[in-house]
Structure 1
């Protein structure tokens, strides 16, 4: 059951819909700690949580017309924040899949920017991986992306692709084998 918003919240949401930045600040400021806690629990990283919440708030501001004055804004903000967390998790998963990220996300680094040589090498490596994936047959690439990068189960991927779970398992195995073969010693 969705509870209705309080009168003050109702008025703030209407002001936000008309473009009042100060009303937006008054509406979201009390909710930020709750959103940060949610994002930290989802991502396990304070800095990534802050980025996710900031991105969520920016998205809500841009899509402020979607706010419903009759519903609590916390539900909409929570949904958007969860979506931003899912995006971050997908990016993290893709980075791990391609070998560009470790497991520690809150490490203090000596410098804010990576060395230019590291950036260039990472870009070249990513380009090679992207090219190798583009060369995979579509049926192998689809299965690999759905299972390994989109986080679908083999059953879900099978439903999407209209094949059996065993076919998805085989396609993912073959795609990974081709990529491993291509990047052996990489």
Structure 2
């Protein structure tokens, strides 16, 4: 059964297919925070994440005739965004192999601790975890980001990535195991 939000999105998708730019902007605004967070987690860099998301939205606009109003747009946008992140990761890896520079994520995090010492320790831990997530193989990283960070169910992640739920479960488990091996506080 579709709710009011689903009906609104379906109507917006139909308008987007017809070339209505305002409808596309409205549709993108609904999903922008979640997609940007996903991109940041995949790429580790705010600037790169924004670029990847802009490319994903531009690709969606260009291919708007392929949109299906009967299917959830969130899954489509997530898939396109993940693909753009994968492209950037491949280019980054190629650049690193050619010695064209390294990448150091700097993701600030809000701390619940009132003292500065705890905040510094939390930021250092986040940087270390972010670096280790970045070093995970892409298949493990995608599953981990979708399930553990983006909050998707294993079923949703499996549908997005075109694999079984068991595959997602295994990938998340292996990703967490690798992180535990590298980090003494996880």
TM range (shorter): 0.5 to 0.7
Counterparts of 1:5-24 in structure 2, within 5 Å, are: 6-24=6-24
Q: CA deviation at 1:105?
A: 5.4
Question: For structure 1, which runs of at least 5 residues remain unmatched after alignment?
Answer: 107-150, 153-186
Aligned Cα RMSD in Å?
2.2
Residue 78 (structure 1) aligns with:
78
Confirm or deny that 1:46 pairs with 2:24: no
**Who wins on radius of gyration, i.e. which is larger?**
1
Residue 160 (structure 2) aligns with:
none
Task: Provide the rounded CA distance (Å) in 2 between the counterparts of 1:91 and 1:78.
Answer: 20
Confirm or deny that 1:92 pairs with 2:92: yes
How many residues are treated as equivalent by the alignment? 107
Runs of 4+ deviating beyond 6 Å: none
Residue 101 (structure 2) aligns with:
101
1:23-55: CA deviation from partner (whole Å, max 9, x where unpaired): 001111010010000000000000000000000
Residue 63 (structure 1) aligns with:
63
Task: Provide the rounded CA distance (Å) in 1 between the counterparts of 2:92 and 2:72.
Answer: 31
TM-score (structure 2 length as normaliser): 0.54
Task: Provide the rounded CA distance (Å) in 1 between the counterparts of 2:58 and 2:20.
Answer: 14
1:108-158: CA deviation from partner (whole Å, max 9, x where unpaired): xxxxxxxxxxxxxxxxxxxxxxxxxxxxxxxxxxxxxxxxxxx89xxxxxx
Residue 30 (structure 2) aligns with:
30
Q: Which has the higher contact order (CA 8 A, sep 6+)?
A: 2
Counterparts of 1:98-177 in structure 2, within 5 Å, are: 98-104=98-104
Partner SS for 1:6: helix
